[in-house]
Amino acid sequence: MKSRIALAVGLLTCLVAVPAAYAHHSFAAEFDGSKPTRLVGTITRVEWTNPHSYFYVDVKDATGKVTNWGCEGAGPGALSRRGWKKGDLKIGDAIVVDGYRAKDGSNLVDARRVTLPDGRTVYGGSPGDGGPGDNGTDQGALPGTSSK
């Protein structure tokens, strides 16, 4: 009997523990919180998509070289609730994105603070992803604008 219980516990541990390690698509799975990055550039592409939105920005460096950066944000539902509607961002718009670089070193950031062309600043993080600015609410906390 004891060995059967041990087997059952072992089986359950395998079934429960392994998927738990994957949890949800958290900030830390893809991005490095120690690599804050500010992108200033123009929009080249917008993907208003589930489960995450993406937009792409051409950024010119000091030497005049243009690099295209991908920016990942929350899905349409979460962004809409923060007042950022589909179509607010158009190709060619000037934009400022404060985010964190992808761990794999690619030109991808998690967009935490997005300054839209009309001057509005929106929290771009996915709700509950545990990254910087995630304060447990749907709205998140914009770095530098909230006490916490």
Partner 1 sequence: MPLLQHLCQLLNDSSFGTMIRESDYAYSVIESVHVLAITLVFGTIAILDLRMLGLVLRPIAVTRVARAVFPLTWSGFAISFISGFLLFWAESAKMYTNPSFRVKLILLALVGLNPLIFHTTIYRRVHEWEIQHVTPWRARAAAIASLTLWSGIIIAGRAIAYF
> Which residues pair with residue 59 across a beta bridge?
67
- Taking the mean position of all CA atoms in its chain, how far away is CA 68? 17
For partner 1, the closer of residues 44 and 80 by Cβ is 80
**Helix, strand, coil % over all residues of the chain, rounded to 5:** 20, 35, 45
Q: How far is the CB of 29 from partner 1 (least distance, A)?
A: 6
Cβ atoms 45, 55 nearer than 8 A: yes
Cα angle 24, 27, 30 (rounded to 5 degrees) comes to 95
**Contacts with partner 1, residue ranges (CB under 8 A):** 4, 7-8, 11, 14-15, 18-19, 22, 24-25, 29-30, 48-51, 75-77, 80, 86
| Comparison of 41 and 73: residue with beta carbon closer to partner 1 | 73
Nearest distance from residue 144's CB to partner 1, in Å?
Answer: 28
Nearest to 70 by CA among 79, 57, 61: 57
* Alpha-carbon gap, residue 113 to 142, rounded angstroms: 6
Nearer to partner 1, 22 or 34 (CB): 22
Q: Judged by CB, which is closer to partner 1: 39, or 126? A: 126
The overall longest dimension of the chain from CA atoms, in Å, is 73
CB of 137 to partner 1, least distance (A): 17
Closest distance between partner 1 and the C-beta of residue 89, in Å?
13
